[in-house]
Chains A and B, each alone.
Chain A
Amino acid sequence: MQPQRRTIVTTAVNGTPVETLLDVRTTLADFLREEAGCTSVHLGCEHGVCGACTVLLDGLPVRSCLRLAVQAVGHEITTLEGVMQTERGKTIGRAFVEQFAMQCGFCTAGFALSLYHLLENAPEPITDQDIHETLGGHICRCTGYVSIVEAAKRLRDQRG
């Protein structure tokens, strides 16, 4: 609570340096949404379970609702806004859109970022179990996961 302490947060969001004066208690998610223009970051629970707020911190998926913006100082953050500038991001988008792997879309960026990480980093072959483990860290309330699994398998099969 009081008194509020402020600090300058310097970080890189989607390859662009950002410098902002923030309350030290500002969460990474709020910083990304309110200050860095990344509204693809969604808040579904704000306590680390649903995965909607997932972003990549130095390439690793993290829950931005559970971190403070100050913990990202000196690190690279990537959100869907950044991933969609890459070929792999576009491929993921295409697979989701064509497979109807989203309905309301609120969970989608989180799934897309975790899958991006899997596709970028997992050694061959990516198994069904790898896919289930990756998707299992996210909650979707709309799709029953069927179409998301299909999109993920299609992306796995296309990887190369």
Chain B
Amino acid sequence: MNEFTAPSSTEGRRLFDLQAQYIADLTPLPNLAHAAVVRSPYAHARIRSIDSRAALALPGVMSVLTGREVQEWSRPFAVAAERPGRYYSCAIDKVRYVGEPVAVVVATNRYIAEDARDTIEVEYEPLPAVVDVEAAMQSSAPILHEELGTNVAIDRQLTYGDVAAVFSAADIVFSQRYVFPRYQSFPLETYGIIASWNPSAPQVSFWANFHGPYSMLAVLAGALRVPLSKLRVVTPPDVGGSFGNKIALYPYMALTALASRKAGRPVKWIEDRLESLSASSTGTDRVTELEVAARNDGQLLGLKMRLMDNVGAYIRAPEPGCLFRPIGNFMNAYKIEHLEVNALAVMTNVCPSGPNRGYACQQHYFPIERAIDELALRLGKDPATVRLRNLIQPQDIPYRTVTGGLYDSGDYPRATQRALELSNYWQLRQSTGAAGPSDASVWRGVGMAVAIDPSGSNMGYIDVSKKAAQRRPNLVRVGSAQTTRIYLDATGGITVELETAAHGQGQETTAASLVAQALGIASADVTVVAGMDTGSRPWSVSSGSYSSRFGAVGASSIVAAARQLQENLLQATAYFLECDASRLHVQAGRIVSLDDAQLGLSLKDVAARLHWSTGTLPSHLETATQVEGTFVASELDYPNELDQVNSSAVYAFTADVAVVEIDKETLDIRVTDYITVHDAGNILHPQIARGQFAGGLLHGLAGALYEELRYTETGDFLTGTLMDYLCPTVNEMPGNIVMDHIVLPTPQALTGAKGVGESTAQTAPIAIANAVADAVRHLGLEITELPLTPDKLWQQLGARLAGEPACT
């Protein structure tokens, strides 16, 4: 319909050509019925009875699924935890959070399904609830899963280096308690699933906005008691975002499949926003007790951390990823070799947690980066100086962290200096807090944060949740791999299959340009097959788009496939022209001789010959038109006896500076400037990378100042609409955003690219917190907890003025 000039977004063209296909738009099967989920209004209660008679009497209602069938037809989902609760897709005899599924109604349309839902009578016996992670660890706390006798699902002690020695040798030791909040960087498109249970196989087909990791399908198949080979999952070409949230789609895939089994028809379920906020998946809230040992010159010596993760009512895969995903980069970008970690996952009466853009890194770095500011303050030094002093130096790289990470490329001081320069940091520092003009209406503050940004998770890290002796050596989980297929058709057309289940990252645009570059043709001549289908495309458990893995792992498999096709074209041309393949090269869509520019064949020619003369081709060219490229990240290992593991394929770096203004009368907080400098290796597409940085900033800003999923002490849910859960609009974004990068390609990926998707989402909450702390320090306010709101600052100020101890 429209002509667009390159370079532009393939996905965007489809949208404005009105050809987009999101899950809600699909009717892939006839006789689709529609589901509505009955959910718990209680945080903790026993289910006495469920009466569905009135619902079943309504015209158009087909079935009601309850916990009884769910228990009979499925098993609890598997999870890597010592003491997991029994987690099914639906409550069986007890509900453990507000919003937990209790029954599923299936009807001819959604209006009728929701009518019927409202007639279902569930009798509950309310029980005392606990939502606070520290309270849930007390012996007097209500127990969610009685059979466990405790709410603590995981309690791991990890020790690296000689912590006792450095703490006793330190000039300065201090401790602080930090609270990272619960928020959900929700995608604008909610969960959507179409499931069809075929009873005779048994076989179940899904259309769903699922994007991996595909290891979750193994968990799903196990729960449904169906062989993995009997699950088919189709991801539509267009998925309306995820930011990690849709990784936890699989429990609802199980629920929808069982609803289809009960109804005897394919069932479609589209989640609504209240369901999404209360019962999909959220970031993990965490309390950290941190102890720091340092020298008077600012040298950090060691850390002790007690991490208390609130994983919600059921610990659910891929948790306990929030405790262990950053293990290789536990020390961030600092040269610290002594660390002690007590990692606890605790179950409480709130929605189960899961990945949220930056998964685990913002939770982990928040206390460390706040404490570095605190250390600088205590030593009378600038926070930037203390950071620069402790950063791993370029000559130390490749650097093996004490926890097992391999930082293969980077220049952290250079990127940090660049951020300081671009933000005019040193000059700004002269006029922040009390040093600002007394007649100004605001206090200014400037703060920074740096972060190692891990990308391409190693499947193996999760086993650090078990003690070395309890790991199963015969089931070693290691690595991250991706396969891509490319076809050359008889007219020279090139088709690439995306196998990564993209959901807004512009992967089609990038894939086309990577293949086009390899073959010297225009991006527009490459067709990309979007979406994903486990029934027809190659995949493995580590497949998918998560942990910012496309640039390093997914795109490397595209490059591997494109290189293979290129090699096949050289071989084929050598055969057809009877010359030496090593004297040929690919140039502008032709395969030409290096010795004689006249000698060559066009891509079209080679393709036609390969397709039309299959009967005469030598065996090495029989499949030359179909290639498969597989990329396996190297250097990934299984946790060793010392609990060391290289937890990610590559490690990018981010250095950020935030400038805030706080209104002296209202304590309203505004971020005026945000400067972010990345080392993400090679940038595969500048506009797409920029979009990822800006989007990451939005989610970090939201976590710092606006978004929080709130519960009352008794577990009632308070933030079920977007009037209560405040998403930043364009008007909350900083007026001045500077995004820059330095390029140090990683040798670990064929693309040389590191991750871009999560970076600023990890640093922004911290840089903003440090800036606010800088602005209000002279008032005696301490910043140890997010989100920062005017009323929280007021409470602290009020308490201070009244001479009471501050409570925030």
Q: Show the binding face of A for B, using Cβ within 8 Å.
A: 1-2, 23, 25-26, 33, 39-40, 42-47, 49-50, 52, 80-81, 84, 90, 93-94, 96-109, 132, 135-149
B side interface size, CB within 8 A? 57
B-side contacts of A106, CB under 8 Å:
22, 187-189, 240-241
Q: Is B691 an interface residue (CB 8 A)?
A: yes
Partner of A100, one of B9, B24, B187, B729: B9
A-side contacts of B187, CB under 8 Å:
104, 106, 141
Q: Is B2 an interface residue (CB 8 A)?
A: yes
Check B18–A146 contact: CB distance below 8 A: no
A-side contacts of B567, CB under 8 Å:
none
Q: Which residue of B lies closest to A90 (CB)?
A: B2
CA A144 – CA B699 in complex, angstroms? 8
Check B15–A108 contact: CB distance below 8 A: yes
**Smallest CB separation, A55 vs chain B (Å):** 14
Check A100–B4 contact: CB distance below 8 A: no
Check A107–B730 contact: CB distance below 8 A: no
Tell me the B252-309 residues at the A interface (CB within 8 Å). Answer: 272-273
A-side contacts of B5, CB under 8 Å:
98
Known: A104-B188, A105-B15, A140-B188. A1 touches B4 (CB 8 A): no
Known: A96-B12, A100-B688. A145 touches B733 (CB 8 A): yes
Check B506–A103 contact: CB distance below 8 A: yes
14 contacts between A and B (CB under 8 A): A39-B20, A46-B273, A90-B1, A93-B16, A94-B2, A94-B4, A108-B15, A132-B730, A141-B243, A141-B698, A143-B698, A144-B694, A144-B695, A145-B698
Check B731–A136 contact: CB distance below 8 A: yes
Q: Is B727 an interface residue (CB 8 A)?
A: yes
Q: Show the binding face of B for A, using Cβ within 8 Å.
A: 1-2, 4-5, 8-9, 11-13, 15-16, 18, 20, 22, 24-25, 58, 111, 115, 118, 185-190, 238-241, 243, 272-273, 503-506, 687-688, 690-691, 693-699, 721-723, 727, 729-731, 733, 737
CA A132 – CA B733 in complex, angstroms? 11
Check B241–A104 contact: CB distance below 8 A: yes
Q: Which residue of B lies closest to A52 (CB)?
A: B188
Q: Which residue of A lies closest to B730 (CB)?
A: A145
Q: Which residue of B lies closest to A138 (CB)?
A: B729
A-side contacts of B239, CB under 8 Å:
104
Q: Which residue of B lies closest to A134 (CB)?
A: B730
Q: Which residue of B lies closest to A85 (CB)?
A: B1
CA A135 – CA B730 in complex, angstroms? 7
Check A43–B11 contact: CB distance below 8 A: no
B-side contacts of A141, CB under 8 Å:
185-188, 241, 243, 695, 698-699, 727
Check B20–A44 contact: CB distance below 8 A: no
B-side contacts of A90, CB under 8 Å:
1-2
Q: Which residue of A lies closest to B238 (CB)?
A: A105
CA A139 – CA B272 in complex, angstroms? 16
Check A132–B731 contact: CB distance below 8 A: yes
Check A142–B4 contact: CB distance below 8 A: no
Check B238–A97 contact: CB distance below 8 A: no
Known: A136-B730, A145-B698. A96 touches B241 (CB 8 A): no
Check B24–A43 contact: CB distance below 8 A: yes
Check B8–A97 contact: CB distance below 8 A: yes
A-side contacts of B272, CB under 8 Å:
46
Q: Which residue of B lies closest to A111 (CB)?
A: B730
CA A78 – CA B12 in complex, angstroms? 20
Partner of B18, one of A47, A84, A135, A149: A84
Known: A81-B18, A104-B240, A106-B240. A149 touches B727 (CB 8 A): no
**Smallest CB separation, A154 vs chain B (Å):** 13
Check A40–B20 contact: CB distance below 8 A: yes
B-side contacts of A81, CB under 8 Å:
18
Interface centre among B11, B22, B506, B691 (most CB of A within 10 A): B691
B-side contacts of A98, CB under 8 Å:
4-5, 8-9
B-side contacts of A44, CB under 8 Å:
188-190, 273
Check B115–A45 contact: CB distance below 8 A: no
Q: Which residue of A lies closest to B186 (CB)?
A: A141
Q: Which residue of B lies closest to A140 (CB)?
A: B188
